[in-house]
Structure 1
Amino acid sequence: CTHFCEILYIELLLVVHGLYLTATIGPKEGWQVYSSAQDADGRCICTVVAPEQNLCSRDAKGRQLRQLLEKVQNMSQSIEVLNLRTQRDFQYVMKMENQMKGLRTKFKQIEDDRKTIMARNFQELKEKMDELQPLIPVLEQYKTDAQLISSFKEEIRNLSMVLAAIQEEMGAYDYDELYQRVLRLDSRLRNCMGKLTCGKLMKITGPVTIKTSGTRFGAWMTDPQASQRNNRVWYMDSYTNSKIVREYKTMEDFVANAVSRTYNLPFKWEGTGHVVYNGSLYYNKYQSNIIVKYSFETGRVLAQRALEYSGFHNTYSYSWGGFSDIDVMTDELGMWLVYATNQNAGNIVIAQMDPDTLEVQKTWNTEYSKRNAGESFMICGTLYITNSHLTGAKVYYSYSTKTSSYEYTDIPFHNQYFHISMLDYNARERALYAWNNGHQVLFNVTLFHVIKTEDDS
């Protein structure tokens, strides 16, 4: 990747489209969609995309260039050998041509005055001329071949110069320098994305299967508040009767099942609606409506609080059961609880919670039955609810805490393994983490942003 990589990277960050509703925004292979946007009148949509981690690596392109240079050099050497042979043969034929010209002159003189020459000498010259006669077309062919080889040499020389210039340009940048430039661009992209923090869910793509492990039900997660260098993964198999949390240093370690630490929680959990947020685990205590905050660093419970009126232990679970009454969630705006109460007729209640004290700050009552929901997740203060945990599931309903209003949606996603028991949004990764019938998978999301101009403010 040369200096134009940065230009290409930046140019592709914002791709302008005219009509979002009639055109599907799809990045080229190797690029990931971050989000989409348009103005209030729907006139301009942009899609923020970024390359995969190794897109700007010059290894593959450099290797191809080196192979091409080697082929050109080999070709040049072969042509040079052919040229030497041709030149040698050409000199021999040129010598023969001179001899033929001399013989022609002598022969003409003999024909002009053959009466004065003995018949024997005349016949001898005639035979030599007959022997040399077939060499005339060979001579002409050698002349043509010599010109062709000369042309080949010139083309090879030009091509070598072009390739050498490209290689010199690529070599002008050290690989580590290029990598640092990519990191800086990635940082700038994330800063840009920070200005487009919130948006409306438009599309779910995937899934990508990360691993196959555990029972049919469970939860896995990363910390959306962690730094970019902190990629720890936490794994909680089953929906009850367990206190063991496994930690992996990286996603690669998670795939390889290389456990770095194991935590033995003070209380068992219920359901799969757990989250890790700013280094602590938040979960529903077994057979209760109590939320527990557990610090991985200290190995201690930092806070506990009962969620008033909330059903628990399969009173108001999701459609798949599993004691999934209380679902702890996080998004760009903070921490949330999703549950149901008798006071709201078993319909879903959304609560915004202080992550430090676990105090409920505000609640919203929806009209969607908790038992009829497959799963749910929060993005930018809006709750999205799926209509099933089985095949054919889609995001069917959304409730905005900003406007205290709901709407019915139709956003399909691929339930590849037919049974979802955990679906949670990670704002740092802009992805949905899911436990799909013993498979840990990721879904990418595309968000719709309304870009406000100075006139709108």
Structure 2
Amino acid sequence: MKPLFVLLVSTAWTLTGAQHYYQGLMDYLENRLLAIEDGMQLWHQQSHRYHAEMLDFGKLTAEVVEGLKNEHGALLRDLEGAGVRVDRAEREMDFVEARTSPRACAARADKVVEQEAWGLEESRGEEEEEEAWEELTSRVSDCVEILSGIRSVKILKRAGGPKGMWTRDPRSSTVYVFNGTSGDAIYQFNSVRDFSRSAGVSGSRTVRLPSEWSGPGGAVYNGYLYYVTQEGDADVRVVKYDLLSGSVADVAMFPAESRAGVYGLNPETVADLAADDEGLWLLFAPSDDGPNIGLAKMDAATLDIERIWDTRCPRENAEAAFVVCGTVYVVYNTRLASRSRVQCVFDVNDVVVSEEAPLLYFPRRYGAHASLKYNPEERQLYGWDDGYQIIYRLIMKRKLLA
């Protein structure tokens, strides 16, 4: 009986301990749930506050964005108005420069030609007449025209790299494109219109040359391509290439030992060939450290050098040049591309000098000209400006004599 009593008492104590254990566990779980509920309530309140703050921030951002849009529109309108005023100012400057440009110096014989009259003063003796006759016969160029201004500008397209050259044969409508600063191929188009309609610089015909051209200083004249080549350490040469037969017609050595670029802003142009009414010309650097641009008159048939001049036009800050009626017009710019301008003029007949020639500015475009090629038949310049192909129509006038 006693053992049974002990067993009942032990069981009762065990059940009482288990009850206390489970009651404690339930109290703990209840306290944890209450804490989680409090945390969730706090998170809900904070989430609601954050949501309200985000709505306020969204409204503020929308107001700021709307204000920026309005300011951007006003700024855009101001810039457009400034662009219109700048264009108007440039046109007015061009007009004033064309109207007030100084008259070029010339001899009396050309003035007589311009007036289409011959009236020598009676006081002039026979010796003076003979001297005037000798002066006329000694001239390199018989052309009596000088550049007066730019009539119009046409941006044809943008194709190719930042530097290159394009030109048209004065004796035909064929257009030739030199893309880049060197290569062994050029691209041929039947006309300016075909070139403008093409997708890029690749033309209807690719002309592969027997040697690589160096620098965008080539010229096309009377069915022949004239270009400068320099391979490795070899001497610089001028090549005459027959475009009809596809063969080299002649090769001439460079008239100077210098390999420096003729233009300070375009050192890739080792030499620049130009064609005008008087024939073929070559612009070059006489020496590596020579400050001025040299000019040579070449025989287009034999590539012989007929005469060489020092133009006294600095190479520094020069970007390109072209020849019109035996007069060299050197175009200058700045390292940070600005407005191109003709700042130095050299006449092979010493009739026109820089101080008396018109100061000519090109309309502001994109960067700086990599090349400028004159077409005497059209009286136009074919320019390459930062990958844009541009046509400048020129205004010419007769050289006036003092």
TM-score range, shorter-chain basis? 0.5 to 0.7
Is the radius of gyration larger for structure 1 or structure 2? 2
Please report the RMSD computed on the Cα atoms of aligned residues, expressed in angstroms: 3.1
TM-score by length of structure 2 reads: 0.60
1:190-233 deviations in whole A, cap 9, x for unaligned?
A: xxxxxx95411111243211121000010111111x1xxx3111
1:65 corresponds in structure 2 to none
1:374-404 deviations in whole A, cap 9, x for unaligned?
A: 2111000010111226322210110110127
| Structure 2 unaligned spans of 5+ | 1-94, 101-109, 117-141
- Which one of 416, 419, 430 corresponds to residue 365 of structure 2? 416
1:309 corresponds in structure 2 to 256
1:289 corresponds in structure 2 to 236
SS of residue matched to 1:262 = strand
Cα 1:220–1:21 change in 2 (3 A) is closer
Q: Please tell me whether the aligned partners of residues 198 and 332 of structure 1 are also in contact (alpha carbons under 8 angstroms).
A: no
Q: How many residue pairs end up in the alignment? A: 264
Cα 1:451–1:285 change in 2 (3 A) is same
The one-letter amino acid paired with 2:164 is: G
1:108-153 deviations in whole A, cap 9, x for unaligned?
A: xxxxxxxxxxxxxxxxxxxxxxxxxxxxxxxxxxxxxxxxxxxxxx
1:78 corresponds in structure 2 to none
SS of residue matched to 2:187 = strand
Matched, 1:434 2:383: yes
Matched, 1:376 2:321: yes
Distance in 2, matches of 1:422 and 1:376, equals: 8
Distance in 2, matches of 1:417 and 1:344, equals: 30
Percent of counterpart pairs with the same letter?
27
> Which range moved further: 365-374 or 275-284?
365-374
| Cα displacement (A) at 1:360 | 0.4
- Which one of 253, 274, 279 corresponds to residue 218 of structure 2? 274
1:201 corresponds in structure 2 to 147
Matched, 1:324 2:269: yes
Q: Please tell me whether the aligned partners of residues 229 and 238 of structure 2 are also in contact (alpha carbons under 8 angstroms).
A: yes
Distance in 2, matches of 1:22 and 1:277, equals: 32
| Cα displacement (A) at 1:415 | 3.7
| Cα displacement (A) at 1:320 | 2.2
1:448 corresponds in structure 2 to 397
Matched, 1:217 2:163: yes
1:349 corresponds in structure 2 to 294
1:400-423 deviations in whole A, cap 9, x for unaligned?
A: 101277323411111411221001
- Which one of 232, 242, 265 corresponds to residue 209 of structure 2? 265
- Which one of 228, 236, 243 corresponds to residue 184 of structure 2? 243
Cα 1:352–1:282 change in 2 (3 A) is same
Cα 1:413–1:222 change in 2 (3 A) is same
| Cα displacement (A) at 1:331 | 0.8
Q: Please tell me whether the aligned partners of residues 143 and 326 of structure 2 are also in contact (alpha carbons under 8 angstroms).
A: no
Cα 1:415–1:271 change in 2 (3 A) is farther
- Counterparts of 1:137-152 in structure 2, within 5 Å, are none
TM-score by length of structure 1 reads: 0.53
Distance in 2, matches of 1:23 and 1:334, equals: 28
Higher relative contact order (CA 8 A, sep 6+): 2
2:345 corresponds in structure 1 to 398
